[in-house]
A and B are shown apart, each in its own frame.
Chain A
Amino acid sequence: MMTILIILAVLLAILTIGQLLRVFEASSKLNGGTSLLPTVAENKYQGRSMFIFMLGFFAFFIWCMVEYGPYLLPEAASEHGVLLDRLLNFNFAIITLVFVITHVILFYFAMKYAYHPERKAYYFTHSNKLELLWTIVPAIFLAVIIVYGLSAWISITDDAPEGSLTIELYPKQFDWTARYSGEDAQLGASNYNMISGTNPLGLITDGSLDQMMSELEAEIAEIKVDLESAPVDGMKQEDLTETLGKRERQLNRVRGFRSFEAANRASGNDDILVKTEFYIPVGREIDFKFRSRDVIHSAYFPHFRAQMNCVPGMVTQFHFKPTITTAQMKAKTQNDDFDYLVLCNKICGAAHYNMSIVIKVVEEDEYNAWIAEQKTFSETISPADESEETASIVSEDAISMIEE
């Protein structure tokens, strides 16, 4: 393939240079002053070239379809995806028809009506009938396209049905974390002030609050020691004071989360966080929620015909029902290495191009077995042994602090 292309490129280059030399030769002769306009022969030749170009263009179109058609996305692996593919094919049928017809006419006219001095063009300024025709016909086609498209859009963006499995996808530069809501079927509260090495999503639970506060307090103490003990030059002192202020303010905000309802603080405990790959059961509606830690990302599920931006500061959502398991898709595509992927589809930095997470679509029982093996959030952060009692005392503290 490559060698053919290089040969093609070289040939084209040689042709161009050859043509060029002839052109220079001709132009030096022509400078004496022949016609400023194309000759009859030139017009004829260029008109024919236009038509031949069109045939070549169509041939290229067909070649692309034959050669690369099989490598386009495999059949949609979600319920709404089948609907979308049908809509896409319908639209393609219409636009391909328009494309072919207009191009045939355009290039045919360019050839047929190439200049001849003995002919006079037809003085035809306008025709209300014709113009009405090509206002109304496109309008009718568009009406159909709009109605069909919007009915699909409305059904896809409708609220997720009851009993959907809620999963949060949380991106950062440059990876994804999936969060399951656990047994209570509710995603625990979270906040970006709570993010730490052990708490990548910033969940707010009693355990994570304690941990975060002690981390921050330790850091603040350390900075204070640095500030007092070491003889520091002005610049560094300024940096340290600034960091100190930041940590103290963050600590204050974190303390404020203690005033959350105890139930809210508890619901994050059974959440499950996974990286690299996550499982979803086939045939069940999955209600995805998206947030972002740093910049805008976009969760793109090409095989499921699904996508949604992940925007810092807000929660977005998209739900779909997977219909083909990974194993089935491997068989369909005859590719043992096939895996469903979530790609990042909004420019997010240097490693944007390889930011992905694998989705395994499996049967319900396999999913249940897998999810049972996963550690819950409270198990992953350092052992927290606070009882219901201490938690409520702490929250009272927080409230009184806020009142001050």
Chain B
Amino acid sequence: MATTEAHNDHHHKETFIQKYVFSQDHKMISKQFLITGMTMAVIGMIMSTLFRLQLGWQGESFAILNFFLGDKWAPDGILDPNMYLALVTIHGTIMVFFLLTGGLSGTFANLLIPLQIGARDMASGFINLLSYWFFLASSVIMISSLFVETGPASGGWTVYPPLSALPQAMPGSGMGMTLWLVSMSLFVVSSLLGGLNYVVTVINLRTKGMTMTRLPLSVWALFVTAVIGVLSFPVLFSAALLLIFDRMFGTAFYLSDIHIAGEVLEATGGSPILYEHLFWFLGHPEVYIVLLPALGITSEVIATNARKPIFGYRAMIGSILAIAFLSFIVWGHHMFLTGMNPFLGSVFTFTTLLIAIPSAVKAFNYITTLWKGNVRLTPAMLFSIGMVSTFISGGVTGIILADSALDINLHDTYFVVAHFHIVMGLSAVLAMFAGVYHWFPKMYGRMMNRKMGYVHFWVTFICAYGVFFPQHFLGLAGIPRRYYTNSEFPIFDDLLGLNELVSVFAIIGAMVQFLFIFNFFYSMRRGQRATQNPWGSNTLEWTTPVEHVHGNWYGALPTVHRWPYDYSKPGKEQDFVPQDVPLEEDEMDGGEGH
């Protein structure tokens, strides 16, 4: 679309609304996703500190709880058990979907795909605009559910029926749950619109010379993520739709043999397990929708800052594809204990453990990329190394949970909480920070303050492990997740100290994020001016001018001659060779190895 004449567009004056609100420019949409995602993340993070107050000092009164939640949900500053579940639920929903799916993919797919493949914009600017506005609408609806009288959805972020289907089962299954479902349906629409656009753009709009095997790994990851999303999100949509039917129109897709609130429920004949299958058919690929962009960002940041080619480029692509394929045949490991046929459980154990192989390849390749590198420890690089660490330490506990036999005793305990927060939550959040520090100069033409970045990294990284590492021990002690308090049972009393420690780390870790936000907005206006290619990077986004122009490049689109990882190539004067530099005579393209 509009490729040839687009580079003249910067002469054309846009109104404020066209430029900042209903923008069709991928760079502006990327910023909109980022700021919306950050806003949602702050809300999700505050929620987590509120319930951490309850978990750290169980049943104690905190004025801040009353301040945020009012007399209904925190009378005398003591958190109400229903509100505890609501906070846990909305925290999970926001973090998984709004920050790490919409926020992460929305920001970086929009920013990086056109810039790194050498395209003027996304395939359809209008669909891209719609994708953002559906995302915003779903965010607003999700947040508005916090203000309904019966409280927001509280059945856990997986919202299993019958709990979520029946308003009699808990207050959160009333209006709040309806809004949750409406919000998620819009979210799916946003994801699909965005995802289709990313896929089409990568396939059709690569510039001359940009073959699939010259794509930066970030684009590969974002591309495969979009494919996974397009294939799996519709299944969540159908799950949500059937749940809406069960809630409003008296159907019984998920309901059977229920006697609740002193009444026989007449809708019968379905099965809640159907919902679990539909949900996890998205839910597990969703983990990789969150993780793959994080791995892609990390690949770019590590190669650039190690001044060294990413090790095993083709193996990295292969492992992305292998992970994507396997992600569709492992969902049953969330359901080992639903009464499924044990043979089926064995199959899911097998497929799940297979994922460890491509994951191991990725981890070792990152480490080898550092070996004999010349590593610039920018804040982005520190976050990326941190991400490799959390990817490994969270990944290895996955080997235990994937084992159906071991899952019997660890299922739904804090061990699971520790595992997925480290491997999915921390890895993706750390990579997202890395991405923001790394591409901030591209987004805003200025550098983020490095010193503040260092403080932010260290406090975040230490607190992140401080929060989640001890939770393995809580899980091994048999404490179930989503417990409002575990002081009901004397067998858990000895572990209360550990809960306190976790909460202290959580609160410090949350506070330091405001330093990041300060740095972000401060640097946007006052930061040091960026040069065109501040990190000495090879990829095409750094060949565009610092100021943002429609169409991205003033002149013709760049032509690509080499893979993106020619860092420190022998015989070159500089320690990087951008992708648009032609090969010298007799020079081999580094990516063409066997």
Contact = CB atoms under 8 A, between A and B. Distances in A.
A120 B409 contact: no
B528 A31 contact: yes
A312 B370 contact: no
B530 A36 contact: yes
Interface string A153-165: 1101100000000
Interface in B273-317: 273, 306-309, 311-315
Contacts of B373: 109, 113, 121-122
B483 to A, nearest CB: 4
B575 A120 contact: yes
B413 interface: yes
Interface stretch (A2-10, A256-264, A373-381, A394-402): A2-10
B38 interface: no
- Tell me whether chain A's interface is mostly helix, strand or loop, or mixed: helix
Contact of B258 (A61, A71, A293, A351): A293
Interface residues of B, number: 140
B162 A115 contact: no
B22 interface: no
Give the one of A36, A64, A351 with max B CB within 10 A.
A36
A300 B486 CA distance: 15
B259 A153 contact: no
Interface in B150-209: 155-156, 160, 162-163, 166, 169-170
Contacts of B374: 113, 115-116, 119-121
A314 B353 CA distance: 29
Interface stretch (B107-115, B118-126, B488-496): B488-496
Contacts of A302: 409, 478
B85 to A, nearest CB: 7
Contacts of A372: none
Interface stretch (B98-106, B130-138, B458-466): B458-466
Nearest to B57: A2
Contact of B346 (A50, A121, A150, A191): A150
B4 interface: no
Interface stretch (B42-50, B241-249, B561-569): B561-569
Given A46-B377, A49-B458, A316 B356 contact: no
Question: Interface extent on A, as a size class?
Answer: 35 or more
B231 interface: no
A152 B405 contact: yes
B163 A95 contact: no
B257 A154 contact: no
Contacts of B570: 123
A28 to B, nearest CB: 9
Nearest to B529: A33
Interface in B378-433: 378, 382, 385, 388-389, 392-393, 396-397, 399-400, 403-406, 408-409, 411-413
A212 to B, nearest CB: 11
Interface stretch (B210-218, B498-506, B542-550): B498-506
B85 A347 contact: yes
Interface in A11-57: 12-13, 16, 19-20, 22-23, 26-27, 30-31, 33, 36-38, 42-43, 46-47, 49-50, 53, 56-57
Contact of A354 (B313, B338, B488): B488
B489 A149 contact: no
B455 A19 contact: yes
Interface string B356-383: 1100110111111011111111100010
B511 interface: yes
A47 B345 CA distance: 44
A37 B169 CA distance: 57
B484 A103 contact: no
24 contacts: A5-B504, A23-B451, A23-B455, A37-B535, A38-B376, A53-B462, A69-B473, A98-B396, A102-B363, A106-B385, A109-B367, A115-B376, A120-B575, A125-B309, A135-B360, A135-B361, A145-B399, A295-B160, A296-B160, A302-B478, A311-B273, A346-B412, A347-B482, A356-B489
Interface of B: 81-82, 85, 155-156, 160, 162-163, 166, 169-170, 255-260, 263-264, 266, 268, 270-273, 306-309, 311-315, 337-339, 342, 345-346, 349-350, 353-354, 356-357, 360-361, 363-368, 370-378, 382, 385, 388-389, 392-393, 396-397, 399-400, 403-406, 408-409, 411-413, 447, 449-452, 454-455, 458-459, 461-462, 465-466, 469-470, 473, 476-478, 480, 482-486, 488-491, 494-495, 497-498, 500-501, 504, 507-508, 511-512, 515, 526, 528-531, 534-535, 565, 567-570, 575, 590-591, 593-594
Interface of A: 1-2, 5-6, 8-9, 12-13, 16, 19-20, 22-23, 26-27, 30-31, 33, 36-38, 42-43, 46-47, 49-50, 53, 56-57, 60-61, 64, 68-69, 71-73, 81, 84, 87-88, 91-92, 94-95, 98-99, 102-103, 105-107, 109-110, 113-116, 119-128, 130-131, 134-135, 138-139, 142, 145-146, 149-150, 152-154, 156-157, 172-173, 191-193, 195, 202, 246, 249-250, 290-291, 293-296, 298, 300, 302-303, 305-309, 311-317, 337-338, 341, 343-354, 356
